[in-house]
Structure 1
Amino acid sequence: MNKIVTVLLLFFFCSNIGAQDSLAIAKPKKEKIIFTEKDVIVDSAATELKSFAPNFKKKYDAPEFVYEFKTPEKNAWDRFKEWLANLFKNLFNFSNNKTAENFVDILVRSLAILIVIVVIYMIVKAIMNNEGQWVFGKNSDKKIINYDEIEKNLHLVDFQKLIQNSLESGEKRLTTRYYYLWLLKKMSEKQIIEWDVEKTNSDYLYEIKDQSQKEDFAYLSYLYNNIWYGEFELDDHTFAKTRSAFEKSIKKVTNG
């Protein structure tokens, strides 16, 4: 019995040794790899260094790159409108601040439009009151507008006052025209002529019966046409002579 146990133990011991030898034989051996200079590849290309532009931050200062919202500061006008909104809110019992702000916006715009209309009206009125003159056009054309109105209402015009004003402003040609129209008014009142705004000097000359009056009127018409329609400078001597001739003739017609 003991012999049998001993034989089995020897059998198992020998089989384990054989298995370890077979594993040692089957395991491959590691080889040591050696690299030489020929096996090393060196990249000889030049390396380019990149750098940021000095002002690159300025490109990102635009509003679309700002992600932090800041409430805009209120100026004096905004504070005034806010004060008005609060005032009207308490005065008219508005439901919220937005309604009061809309009311103030409408009110301010309406007042602005009203102010513009008033200013335009005052400018137009000032231009119209400047002896009927407009901004554009020649000086003679601007004055004819007012003179035509005088001719249409010849018998209602105070020529003495008009002549006094024109003398004070130094308008000699205008004074000569007033004298001529004043003469026509006096001749019409004395029924020497029949006044009509469409008539010419020749028409009036034909209507005058008295030869002396006809000669005076022909001479004064000559002076008037050359002074009023002429483009020359009227000197003091010629104006004084013309003024004296008109006053003499007007006085003669008035007392005649």
Structure 2
Amino acid sequence: MTKYLLLFLFLLLFSIPSFAQDTLIVSKSEIKVDSSTVEEVKFKEGFQEKYTADEFIYEVKVKELSAWERFKEWLYDLFERIFNSTSRENTENIVELFLKILAAAIIFFVIYLIVKAIMNGEGSWVFGKSSDKKVINYEEIEKNIHLVDFEKLIKETLKNGENRLAIRYYYLWLLKIMSAKQLIEWDVEKTNSDYLYEIKNTSIKSQFEYVSYLYNYIWYGEFELDEVTFVKAKKAFDNLINSLGA
């Protein structure tokens, strides 16, 4: 029995390759060949331009922050640390409100500086000859003698009974005229002696020395100015101013 079984297995082993080979044989008539012509497709020139919109860009580029954006990011971080905030949205709202308030403050400060430059400390407009305003403080007048109409200013001062102040304005008016005539070089820091040294005309020099004495006596003197002294000083200033052709 064992002999027959071994013989059967031997015959079965050698018959399998033959059977497999027979199953792989296919006739040529059964093979299909595609003989159609393949048409080459070419892209038109400039076709890339149609695909430049955002929806065709698949590479995400990180936007570079401007200096202003970097400053705001710094503020966000600063406010988050100060207020111990955990909400970025709340921090951004606080920063935006802070920036608006700061911008408004800067605008009001600039307006204040402009107004202050146009007006003096007492709220009166700095004026020239064509202005209707007549009162500005002593410091502004002394710094801007070439812009002041002293003749009108003196008349207004005398009308108010301020004789001592009128002599002060007479003196500044005289300096303005002498500077315009190039007899002196005006400077707010100069003294009467400085101006006296600059004057070359002997007659004018003598008259200026006298009115300078009267001015120092009246303006800096600690006494009541009587009418006689005032009239004498006013006449001396008028005479010198008229002699200069003013």
TM-score with structure 2 length normalisation?
A: 0.45
Larger Rg: 1
- Structure 1 length as normaliser, TM-score? 0.44
